[in-house]
Structure 1
Amino acid sequence: MALDGIYIYSILCELREKLLHGKVSKINQPEKDEVSLLIRGSDNNSYKLLISASSSYPKIHITENGKTNPLTAPMFCMVLRKYLINARIIDIKQVSTDRIVILDFENTDEFGFNSVYSLIVEIMGRHSNITLIRQKDNSVMDCIKHITPAINRYRSLYPGLNYIYPPKSEKLDPFDFSIESFKNIIKENNLDFDSKLGSKIFTGVSKTISKEIYFRFSGDITINDLDNVYSNIVKFFSSISNGNFSFNSYSENGMIKDFACIPLNFLNECEKTEYKDPSKLLENFYFERDKFQRLSNYGADLSKIVHTNLDRCLKKNQILNDNLVECKTKDIYKLSGEFLTANMYDLKKGQKEITVQNYYSETLEDITIQLNTNKTPSQNIQSYYKKYTKLKKTEEMSLLQLRSNSEEIDYLQSVLTNIKNSEAYTEIEEIKKELIETGYIKFNKKNKKGKNKTPKLSKPLHLVSSDGIDIYVGKNNFQNDYLTLKFADKRDIWMHTKNIPGSHVIVKNNGHIPDKTLEEAAGLAAYYSKAKESVLAPVDYTEVKNVKKPSGAKPGMVIYLTNKTINIIPKKLDNI
């Protein structure tokens, strides 16, 4: 499941058809390793070209999805705008069949002369990069990732240097190879005709395509018949080079297992989904994965802060519980004090112990009490009473702190759940603001210079049930408080997972709420909670008038009475 040179070849066929001779009208850099170019094609339609140098999901394709751009454009974006705005695409090519794409642009330079610039896209995992060069002197104008000699001894990439291509592959070009070179590379490397042969000898051929080659021809040919092997493989790649594409994804148990620009016969048992173009297939496959990973990375620092505080609370919880175990002995000290007081006239300084009668027991058995030989009888008595008083106060304070600590644990777990369920950067920013206001993140006022603008807050999730009733879901604790305490009417239905961190869900009550709507809303409450992956989750629901926020409680923390509980499968609504 990789974006290989063969699939890139199919993408470039699409790009040539739609973008060649098109004009660049906008350039943005929504991510640190990703740029988008709005291009008006020769057919007068506008296309958004997405180019990503992500270490996990590098790619190039036409996209219909948009992202929020930073208020201040990064330097690389500014350089691209300077040289490529209003430029025309004059060529789109691929280096051999490798994962290197070159987009040539023609534009007037600062002196009014026509210049040609190349945007070189290297789709190579963690080595992926996007570099703008000026063709006449091969100089690097800028690149999205600067590579210094300390990072790469073979080549450096930063402004002012001459551009050097990545090391050339010693494998064969699948669209241009002779029978002699084919036979030589097999014999020199002592290769067998197996499912890995294609990826071992051809540039840009992934393991998936290699498996397909083997599946198609393994029944008819062997490694001993190289002429026949050569003939069949040439026909296979000729079909691709002639544009005989079929864009499909293959799923198993609802998860996409693989995709390709040709039919994958070895996956015939999987569910196949057809696409009309390679860009749409890539976008469907990568968009959610890329979004999830970027949001996870974006929220990783917040998660670390929350986990640190959660660990602190859990350790404190253990200490407090240990204190309560010790405090269970407090009555022994009180009784010892009483028994010593009743037998005070039998006490003498220097005694190590005294045996007294337990007059609280029906059998009146004797008990032995240890004494400090350096203390007077009165001091020994007082030491037992002091120990009792200390343990009693410790027990009272421990119980209070245990309750407060438990509430803090619930709150921190709710924040972790909100971070995990975040679907936009603005939601992560709101959680960060929440942690600042609750004191978990120290806010440095010096860093606020030039940032007086109040960020636009995201809105709670709004959905409509199958019965046409409005449902609202809080995506963080600020939104939870807003929905429950300000937005909702006292007759509306409030929902939350039972004893599990999650979102507040409000169902608008306009007179009657059908059971179907209640089930759908409960499914949402379970889905946007820590129980998201559970088979069934318990969800409490009650009227909003029964929900109260205790004085001094943290954001999103409420108490409620007279509720009902429903066990439901966590599930989104289709209109999300």
Structure 2
Amino acid sequence: MALDGVFLYSIINELKNTIIGCKVDKINQPEKDEILLNIRGNRCTNKLLISASSNYPRIQLTKISKQNPLKPPLFCMILRKYLNGSKIIDIRQLNCDRLLSIDFQTVDELGFDSIYSLIIEIMGRHSNITLIRQRDNIIMDSVKHISSDINTYRKLYPGIEYVFPPESHKLNPLDFNFDEFKSFISENSIDFSEICFAKIFTGISKQLSKELFYRSTNSKLDLSCDNIKNLYDYLTEIFQCIKTNKFNFVCYSDLNNYVKDFHCIELTILKDMFNKTVYDSPSYLIEHYYYQKDKNDRLKNRSADLQKLIHTNLDRCNKKVKILNKTLQKCKSKGEYKLFGELLTANIYNIKKGDTKTKVLNYYSSESEYITIKLDENKTPSENVQNYYKKYNKLKTSERMANIQLEITEKEISYLESVLTNIENAESYDEIDEIKKELIETGYLKFKKHSKGNKKKKSQPLHFISSDGSHIYVGKNNLQNDFLTLKFARKSDIWMHTKNIHGSHVIIKNDGNISGKTLEEAASIAAYYSKAKNSTKVPIDYTEVKNVRKPSGAKPGMVIYYTNKTIYIDPKKPELEMLLK
């Protein structure tokens, strides 16, 4: 679900108890629509994440670190100029809506106290982060600039006065009385339904409205003139729990641990359908809910061009395979032309120039049958014989070349599909960049010269420690696969790969005794970092590295192996405890 105003109220309550009175230590902008504030004070350090993502906008405390761009964006530089070293003095929410303001007290160039406000709008694709100077309400900058061409109601860019979004005419669930409640229902002709509470109150999502409706129907309440007072009392009791910070931070997930919903109020409507996980903090609840979704979404956007390139080349290869298969099908008739040539040679004395056909005995057939062979009347008998031999030799050559090209094309398809699997399994921008480098080296992308200042540190293969203490290494792309298998691993180490399925090379360092448990854990990792990560009973081949070799001219990551054993395992994401940092 989307983060609604009621849940935002619980986050603001947490932030007020955590960061008010603290100072801003560092400011970073890891994404174009996301900022990260390092905050020191109260004998601890916190990181505040503010995201204006169109899909997953939010504000929360976070424990996750992100890689920052080498050159900070302009908005980040503006924030550093005005907010570095500032003190957080207040956090406010507007009428329980998805809009809040954080006030920072700082000292300007002349030594006077100044107050700046960071206004966060958590409103789907209209989400934004804006820094304003409080004394004159002037915008210093916004993470997303909005011109009059985009929004006729208000503009957001530096140097103009900040205008709040249109105010909702719904009731504030934390500040309303019975007369307002009754009048709003009457004036707006509200019908009692699952989403009626979302229509009445600001900050109530449809899912929360369904929960309130579910509870009210179970309580035998009815939205009518006779029972509206009972409904008012029922709602004020629930909202009073929110006002007094009596929250239940609950996340609901299915049997596969796929997160389905969350809220700061227990959603009893879901209790019989999904597993429930309780959290102490709203920030870490939504971090659990949003982090992987947001990460996958951003990685997908970052790799969209690469995926398009791979799919284009796969389409080209698949079309080529169809053409080659048609050629091979056509070449199956080559034996007939050879037979005609030999039979005409044996019966050349019976053929005259001008004949259009001849009937000869097929002495290759066990039934000694006669067959009719067409002739070109403008050619001599010898020329007709040579014509059939030429057709035979042409098809023979075409078949040989088609088989060579088919083998090359099938290897290219296998390589491209392995790259596509690596892209789908990528977990960071660095991994995407390394796959891009691989495609440059293999000729699928043109090389672009970068300035010396933009050199990036080469990422390393994943490194895990098994429960028995063995070291396990996993390639994140085909270049790393080659490095691990051909350069890094010793001949006695164990090499693993999914059987006939694209995936990562996995190396287990052999220090003399590899347990069955380590083999299972490494096999599970190999299955997880493959195209079959969502399958069950995935076959994993394993053998000593000395039995693995790379054919001459093969593309990155392509190897052959022998004398292997196979283990069947369910893919499992490696636990954090296994990761060696």
The TM-score normalised by the length of structure 2 is 0.95
SS of 2:259's equivalent in the other structure is strand
User: Match for residue 487 of structure 1?
Assistant: 488
User: Match for residue 149 of structure 1?
Assistant: 148
Which residue identity lines up with residue 71 of structure 1 in the other structure?
A: L
SS of 2:215's equivalent in the other structure is helix
Aligned mates of 2:259, 2:433 — CA distance in 1: 31
Listed as ranges, the gaps of 5+ residues in structure 1 are: none
Residue 131 of structure 1 deviates from its aligned partner by 1.0
Structure 1 residues 390 and 178: CA distance shift in structure 2, 3 A: same
User: Match for residue 241 of structure 1?
Assistant: 243
User: Match for residue 362 of structure 1?
Assistant: 366
User: Match for residue 258 of structure 1?
Assistant: 261
Aligned mates of 2:228, 2:20 — CA distance in 1: 40
Residue 5 of structure 1 deviates from its aligned partner by 0.2
User: Match for residue 115 of structure 2?
Assistant: 116
**Equivalent residue in structure 2 for 1:267, among 254, 265, 270:** 270
User: Match for residue 30 of structure 1?
Assistant: 30
Structure 1 residues 345 and 63: CA distance shift in structure 2, 3 A: same
Which residue identity lines up with residue 441 of structure 2 in the other structure?
A: E
User: Match for residue 389 of structure 1?
Assistant: 393
Which residue identity lines up with residue 251 of structure 1 in the other structure?
A: S
Deviation readout 1:500-550 (Å, 9 max, x if unpaired): 111111112222222222122111111111111111111111111010111
Which residue identity lines up with residue 534 of structure 1 in the other structure?
A: S
User: Match for residue 85 of structure 1?
Assistant: 84
Say yes or no: does 1:227 pair with 2:203: no
Which residue identity lines up with residue 537 of structure 2 in the other structure?
A: L
Residue 394 of structure 1 deviates from its aligned partner by 0.8
Residue 308 of structure 1 deviates from its aligned partner by 1.1
Say yes or no: does 1:320 pair with 2:324: yes
User: Match for residue 283 of structure 1?
Assistant: 287
User: Match for residue 39 of structure 2?
Assistant: 39
Deviation readout 1:114-147 (Å, 9 max, x if unpaired): 3222111110111111111122322221111111
Which residue identity lines up with residue 221 of structure 1 in the other structure?
A: L
Residue 96 of structure 1 deviates from its aligned partner by 0.8
Structure 1 residues 440 and 368: CA distance shift in structure 2, 3 A: same
Residue 49 of structure 1 deviates from its aligned partner by 0.7
Which residue identity lines up with residue 227 of structure 1 in the other structure?
A: K
Aligned mates of 1:312, 1:244 — CA distance in 2: 60
Structure 1 residues 376 and 155: CA distance shift in structure 2, 3 A: farther
Residue 212 of structure 1 deviates from its aligned partner by 2.6
Residue 348 of structure 1 deviates from its aligned partner by 3.5
**Higher mean C-alpha displacement, 217-226 vs 316-325:** 217-226
Deviation readout 1:416-471 (Å, 9 max, x if unpaired): 111111111111111110010000111134xx2x2465421221111122222211
Which residue identity lines up with residue 482 of structure 2 in the other structure?
A: D
Aligned mates of 1:123, 1:373 — CA distance in 2: 85
Which residue identity lines up with residue 256 of structure 1 in the other structure?
A: V
Within-5 A mapping of 1:385-534? 385-445=389-449, 448=450, 450-451=451-452, 454-534=455-535
Which residue identity lines up with residue 79 of structure 1 in the other structure?
A: I
Residue 181 of structure 1 deviates from its aligned partner by 2.3
**Higher mean C-alpha displacement, 327-336 vs 257-266:** 257-266
Residue 167 of structure 1 deviates from its aligned partner by 1.4
Structure 1 residues 257 and 381: CA distance shift in structure 2, 3 A: same
Which residue identity lines up with residue 331 of structure 2 in the other structure?
A: C
Deviation readout 1:195-223 (Å, 9 max, x if unpaired): 32211110001123222322333223211
SS of 1:13's equivalent in the other structure is helix
Residue 573 of structure 1 deviates from its aligned partner by 3.4
SS of 1:325's equivalent in the other structure is helix
Residue 373 of structure 1 deviates from its aligned partner by 3.4
Q: Contact (CA 8 Å) 2:70, 2:454: kept in 1 or not?
A: no
Structure 1 residues 363 and 263: CA distance shift in structure 2, 3 A: closer
Residue 319 of structure 1 deviates from its aligned partner by 1.2
Q: Contact (CA 8 Å) 2:499, 2:539: kept in 1 or not?
A: yes
Aligned mates of 1:435, 1:534 — CA distance in 2: 28
Aligned mates of 1:514, 1:91 — CA distance in 2: 57
Aligned mates of 2:366, 2:259 — CA distance in 1: 76
Aligned mates of 1:115, 1:488 — CA distance in 2: 60
**Higher mean C-alpha displacement, 373-382 vs 397-406:** 373-382
User: Match for residue 383 of structure 2?
Assistant: 379
Which residue identity lines up with residue 337 of structure 1 in the other structure?
A: G
Deviation readout 1:144-202 (Å, 9 max, x if unpaired): 11112222222221222222211111211111223222112212332233332211110
User: Match for residue 545 of structure 2?
Assistant: 544
**Higher mean C-alpha displacement, 163-172 vs 109-118:** 109-118
User: Match for residue 206 of structure 2?
Assistant: 207
User: Match for residue 337 of structure 1?
Assistant: 341
Which residue identity lines up with residue 419 of structure 2 in the other structure?
A: V
Deviation readout 1:46-88 (Å, 9 max, x if unpaired): 2111000011110001111110000000111111111111122
SS of 2:443's equivalent in the other structure is coil
**Higher mean C-alpha displacement, 197-206 vs 109-118:** 109-118
Structure 1 residues 160 and 378: CA distance shift in structure 2, 3 A: farther
When the two structures are aligned, how many residues end up with a matched partner?
A: 572
Root-mean-square deviation (Å)? 1.7
SS of 1:274's equivalent in the other structure is strand
Which residue identity lines up with residue 264 of structure 2 in the other structure?
A: C
**Higher mean C-alpha displacement, 210-219 vs 304-313:** 210-219
Which residue identity lines up with residue 462 of structure 1 in the other structure?
A: H
Which residue identity lines up with residue 551 of structure 2 in the other structure?
A: P
SS of 2:252's equivalent in the other structure is strand
Residue 249 of structure 1 deviates from its aligned partner by 1.5
User: Match for residue 167 of structure 1?
Assistant: 166
Aligned mates of 2:572, 2:265 — CA distance in 1: 34
